[in-house]
Amino acid sequence: MTDTHTNGSSSPSRRALIGWGGAGLALGAAAAGGAVAMANAGNDVDPVAAEAGGAVAFHGAHQAGIATPVQDRLHFAAFDVKTDDRAEFVRMLKDWTAAARRMTAGEPVGEGAYGGLAEAPPDDTGEALGLKPSRLTLTIGFGPSLFDKFGLRDERPAALVDLPKFPGDNLDGARTGGDLCVQACADDPQVAVHAIRNLARIGFGKVAIRWSQLGFGKTSSTTPDAQTPRNLMGFKDGTRNIAGTETDRLKKFVWVADGDGPRWMTGGSYLVARRIRMNIETWDRTSLQEQEDVFGRDKREGAPVGRAKEHDKPFLKAMKPDAHVRLAHPDSNDGITILRRGYSFTDGTDGLGRLDAGLFFLAYQRDVRQGFIPLQRRLSAHDALNEYIQHVGSAVFAVPPGVRDAGDWWGRTLFSKEA
Ligand code: HEM
């Protein structure tokens, strides 16, 4: 991350006029917008992003971080709103956007981490100075409970349903829900953590983090030619997914189209987040045959039962009736397809000598009612994997369309009438 102050107008005296800590953001970032704006022609997949350490375009028809090739690390945060002042909340969204625009370009927030007024806390916390943009993407989502606030009741999309309780759910309220969320993905964990920390700092008094999750070891691939990563059960995960280059499938299954619901969501998507704990110790004592039967794929190659290669078409009938892949495959679900973008997590131990580890499942879809819900109904009732996992956290968010240009901001289509 470069630590240059791109904004020549950020003199201490000017800043002093605005006030203390963080208040200089709006000005600094507005000026910086031009410097960092990168057109992405309405597509999340920027060629620069393929280069390790590069920047992913922030502006576009869709938010980055959905179809973008999956980065190595995650810091996901769900926030609760603490203000009932709509104008103040909108100001925060604008400040967040300005900060996100800068951080995704590898620039520090506002006037930077040093060099400003000595009596004020710096605008940026500083730990990402000298680090590359690391393909950081920041993706915002609005939870169902946000629509009970700020007079937004009529704007709540019908597709933003409260998720039903599924068999086997053991949800912890402290890891569930949230008025809004930010998904930070980057190849460098410090860059992702820096981004969430600085957004939380800017939001102080207006929002507070309700829960958060760090993730590593992506469990999905959104690039067709990349090696499929393995999950903590040791299996390749993400073999059959929607690739960021599959424009037609993204359009059909991921992006909200005109007429799907309220206009403000056109170009957006819906996100389901589930913290799924794995009973790692039980799994590790399970025979290889049973492990392979559970998924319906072999451990070494990731090939479907009865096939030789990972990407061979699965022959579902050759799998056990309760095999995960057989149950989750579109052919068993009237064609239902979701974009999975999950990460592994290990949050220490649970006090009983077991790892608190699993999969932080993230799935994007055009409509949750024709995506996660029917899929999870089937899986929660029949999946052989259920013996080894437990869903312990859950949230759903409406993810608005992308920020178009330097003058645009997160949530404008929802909060601004001229949208
Ligand atoms: C800890 C929990 C889970 C683990 C370890 C897991 C693991 C896997 C693995 C190893 C595969 C096969 C490779 C692949 O095609 O990616 C797979 C496929 C899949 N999983 Fe999961 N999964 C989990 C939870 C879920 C949940 C909650 C859903 C949706 C509600 C889901 C939906 C799918 C789908 C749609 C496929 C692709 C099926 C196909 O098209 O062949 N998974 N999963």
The residues spanned by each domain of the chain are 63-103+137-419
323 CA distance to ligand 1 middle (Å): 10
Does the Cβ of 233 fall within 6 Å of ligand 1? yes
- Write out the chain's pLDDT in tens, 419 residues: 443 333 333 333 333 333 333 333 333 333 333 333 333 333 344 444 445 689 999 999 999 999 999 999 999 999 999 999 999 999 999 999 999 999 999 999 999 999 889 999 999 999 999 999 999 999 999 999 999 999 999 999 999 999 999 999 999 999 999 999 999 999 999 999 999 999 999 999 999 999 999 999 987 777 777 789 999 999 999 999 999 999 999 999 999 999 999 999 999 999 999 999 999 999 999 999 999 999 999 999 999 999 999 999 999 999 999 999 999 999 999 999 999 999 999 999 999 999 999 999 999 999 999 999 999 999 999 999 999 999 999 999 999 999 999 999 999 999 996 44
Q: Which of 231, 275, 325 to mutate to test the pocket of ligand 1 (most atoms within 8 A of CB)?
A: 325
3-state helix, strand, coil in the chain (%, to 5): 30, 20, 50
Q: To which H or E segment does residue 414 belong?
A: helix 412-415
Name the token pair of 366.
Answer: 């055009």
Spacing, Cα 92 to ligand 1 middle (Å): 37
Cα 324 to middle of ligand 1, angstroms = 7
φ and ψ of 74, to 5 deg: -135, 140
**Residue where the block lists tokens 């998904």:** 183
What is the fold, at CATH topology level, of the domain defined by 63-103+137-419?
A: Alpha-Beta Plaits (3.30.70)
Instruction: Read off the tokens for 137.
Output: 């993407």
CB-ligand 1 contact for 276 (6 Å cutoff):
yes
Residue 24 token pair: 């200089």
Amino acid making up residue 265: M
- pLDDT value, residue 349: 94
Between the CA atoms of 109, 111, 116 and 119, what dihedral angle is there, to the nearest 10 degrees? Answer: -50
Distance between CA atoms of 259 and 122, rounded to whole angstroms?
45
The 8-class DSSP code of residue 322 comes to: T
Residue 6 token pair: 């791109």
Pocket probe for ligand 1: among 169, 221, 240, the residue whose CB has the most ligand atoms within 8 Å is 240
What is the CB neighbour count within 10 angstroms for residue 52? 11
Do the bridges between strand 343-349 and strand 355-365 make them parallel or antiparallel, or are there none, so unpaired?
Answer: antiparallel
Alpha helices in 230-323 (DSSP H): 247-253, 280-284, 288-295
Whole-angstrom distance, CA of residue 261 vs CA of residue 393:
27
Angle formed by the axes of helices 189-202 and 86-104, nearest 10°: 160
Q: Which residue has the tokens 């759910």?
A: 169
CA-wise closest residue to 272 among 164, 148, 415, 389:
164
Contact 357 CB / ligand 1 (< 6 Å): no
Q: Is 329 in the pocket of ligand 1 (CB under 6 A)?
A: yes
Which element (helix H / strand E) includes 210? strand 207-218
The structure tokens 């201490």 sit at 12
Q: Which helix (H) or strand (E) holds 32?
A: helix 25-36
Residue 267 is encoded by which pair of tokens?
A: 């170009």
pLDDT value for 220: 77
| 10 vs 59: CA distance, rounded Å | 24
**Structure confidence at residue 51 (pLDDT):** 56
Q: Give the N- to C-terminal CA distance of the chain in Å, as an integer.
A: 33
Count Cα atoms within 13 angstroms, Cβ side, for 27: 18
Q: If you take atom 26 of ligand 1, which residue's CA is the nearest one?
A: 376
Q: Give the torsion through C-alpha atoms of 24, 102, 274, 209, to 10 deg.
A: -10
Residue nearest to atom 11 of ligand 1 (CA): 237
- Say how many Å lie between the CA of residue 369 and the centre of ligand 1: 18
DSSP three-state, residue 105: coil
> What's the number of CA atoms in the CB half-sphere (13 Å) around residue 238?
31
Is 93 within 8 Å of 415 (Cβ atoms)? yes
